[in-house]
Amino acid sequence: MSKRKTYSKEFKEEALRLASKSGITQVALDLGVHPNMLYVWKKQQEQQTNKAFLGQGNLADQEMIKLQKENACLKEEVEILKKVAGIFPDRSGRDIM
C-alpha cells in the first residue's frame, strides 16, 4: 500500500502563484502533481482565504473535534462543581445548582 503524499502550505501557495502565471496544466506537469489537485487547492484558497491549508483533514472536521473536546472538558467541570456544591452547601439554605 502506497503512502499518500502531503504538501506543505507553502508548497500549495507557491504552486497556485505559479499556476496563476503559467497555467494550471503546465505547473502541474512541472511539479509532478495532478492538475485536479491544483484545482482543489485553488478552490480551498478561494473559499477559506485565511484558513486554507491549515493541516490535514477537512477544516470542518477539525473544528468539530476541537469543539467536542471543549464540550467534554466543560461537562467535566460542571460535574466537579455539582459535587463541590453537594459537599459545601450554601449557608443560606438554598442549593447553588
pLDDT tens, the chain, 97 aa long: 677 788 888 889 899 999 999 899 999 999 999 999 999 999 988 887 766 776 655 666 677 888 899 999 999 999 999 888 888 776 665 655 5
pLDDT at 55: 63
CA distance 65 to 24: 34
CA distance 70 to 76: 10
19 and 36 belong to one structural domain: yes
In sequence order, which residues have a C-beta less than 8 Å from that of residue 53 and are 6 or more positions away? Answer: 9, 12, 13, 41, 44, 45
pLDDT at 91: 67
50 and 12 belong to one structural domain: yes
pLDDT at 54: 66
Which domain does 63 fall in, by range? 56-90
